[in-house]
Structure 1
């Protein structure tokens, strides 16, 4: 009887973790470039009372056996890299990636981080940076007084200067891809970091070697679907409730057993 208490308790812990993941998805429903996460679960150890396949006679075997499980645990939270909806902003430095790939940004310690958030700005030196001020890699600086900025689908950045009708190329954007993007480490601030699980980044120009293309004046919104998350929340809540009922039932059965001797 005590086993049921611990088994149901593990179910409550797992569903609480599931609600935490769902809540984070809903909280980031309007976060640019955000990718929703999913909880993965595994069953725990089994007590084998009767081994399946064991001999029950000279010419017979036990077909199924008896195995009693000990509950569940959360083993992973996986980011799902489906493409979110595109929103037209009209801002020339807003960029969305149509397809696979990540923008590269340089962190203050010189390391690289990766993001799908294409809401870039310019700093006091004209360099294209993120909202946190991290510089886009490869570095591109917009000349002072530029009257327009154009970013082609292949990542070529051009500007038009005063008293000059011809555009001038000032840089080339690059995107990076990973063998296992789900293995990237989330750092917050819409940034991801390379890990051994993600594999090494492969850089290429947009539209080449499987990388996506650049869509200027658009932003990729979160891929969170609110209706799906609300359904998942209801399912998790009911699973939590049923596990709590199992604990209550086990406690009542223990109470009955304890009251047999009067």
Structure 2
């Protein structure tokens, strides 16, 4: 059978995959913090019709003769470059200007994740994943969540406890203007309560809150004073392109992404402080998709024409076979 038939089939298959990826990229052009993908091709094994030979006294060397047997997918890469920043003027929207992912989890509200002195996370009852989608929300108890209800993890600053029945947090007042603030080791689900203890020890309503560039959440109380109530944690990876997409703008680590390296909290010792290597959190903004429509449509044209060309090699091979069969009348 003609080799061109099978080479044409392989070309149609890989270009169909390329069109699938392009379609997914275009479909997510408006998805918050979406990272586009690309596909790379490589040739299949080549059949040797004759081997190469070296030169001799009377003749020169001869190159080998090989016939390629088609094409296959070399890899599908996630393009982790940052998307544009879109202002929203919403204080619960945060965008990461640089490297880093939010750590989100589901599980018990009082669950914690230990972090060792190498900034890696230990085992926990919480099921963690990662996201750059900073469109955060609050629930009825004041817990800080993603739009899918996953809890945003971070460092406690004031002592935090939770009501066993309602899950409503109680956070001890820590003056945000205190230069010696130190985050509590380990990650907990963060909350922005409706009311909390003030400077005088009595309960005060939280009038407003803000998220600083380092992830610190500050609350302004009606009785005066500004409290630091937590710090949003951030993780990075040696190979962020190796993260696995699990839908809903979430990623999980894989054996090739490496372990999550957690940004150190406020007040960390200078020897262990890695916070300057991470992105700044921009409140009131969201990161947009990094899909370039002009590039995607150009790739679509190339892939569709390549698909048509591969189909033409199959029909041409079929015509040749028909001619061969017609030799016998």
Shift of 1:49: 1.2
Matches within 5 A, 1:45-56: 45-52=45-52, 54-55=53-54
Indicate whether 1:186 and 2:245 are aligned.
yes
2-structure distance, mates of 1:133, 1:187: 15
Shift of 1:60: 4.9
1-structure distance, mates of 2:101, 2:313: 46
In the TM superposition, structure 1's runs of 4+ consecutive aligned residues that sit over 6 Å from their partners are none
Matches within 5 A, 1:139-218: 139-144=189-194, 145-164=205-224, 166-205=225-264, 208-218=275-285
2-structure distance, mates of 1:223, 1:205: 28
Q: Tell me the equivalent position of 1:233.
A: 300
1-structure distance, mates of 2:75, 2:247: 18
Q: Tell me the equivalent position of 1:36.
A: 36
1-structure distance, mates of 2:105, 2:60: 64
Report the TM-score when normalising by structure 1.
0.94
Paired residues of 2:54 and 2:62 also in contact (CA < 8 A): no
Coordinate RMSD, CA, aligned: 1.7
1-structure distance, mates of 2:227, 2:251: 32
Could you say if the C-alpha distance between residues 62 and 249 of structure 1 is closer, same or farther in structure 2, counting changes exceeding 3 Å? farther
2-structure distance, mates of 1:62, 1:46: 21
Q: Which secondary structure state, in structure 2, belongs to the residue aligned with residue 232 of structure 1? A: helix
Shift of 1:255: 1.2
Paired residues of 2:55 and 2:62 also in contact (CA < 8 A): no
Could you say if the C-alpha distance between residues 88 and 47 of structure 1 is closer, same or farther in structure 2, counting changes exceeding 3 Å? same
Question: Could you say which structure has the larger radius of gyration?
Answer: 2
Paired residues of 1:173 and 1:205 also in contact (CA < 8 A): no
Report Cα offsets for 1:75-122 as digits up to 9, x if no partner: 321110111011111110100000001000013472210001000001
Matched residue pairs, number?
260
Q: Tell me the equivalent position of 1:86.
A: 85
Indicate whether 1:120 and 2:170 are aligned.
no
Shift of 1:64: 2.9
Indicate whether 1:134 and 2:150 are aligned.
yes
2-structure distance, mates of 1:59, 1:214: 73
Q: Which runs of 5+ in 2 are unaligned?
A: 108-124, 155-188, 195-204, 266-273
Q: Which secondary structure state, in structure 2, belongs to the residue aligned with residue 147 of structure 1? A: strand
Q: Tell me the equivalent position of 1:18.
A: 18
Q: Which runs of 5+ in 1 are unaligned?
A: none
2-structure distance, mates of 1:149, 1:68: 68
Q: Which secondary structure state, in structure 1, belongs to the residue aligned with residue 12 of structure 2? A: helix
Could you say if the C-alpha distance between residues 156 and 60 of structure 1 is closer, same or farther in structure 2, counting changes exceeding 3 Å? farther
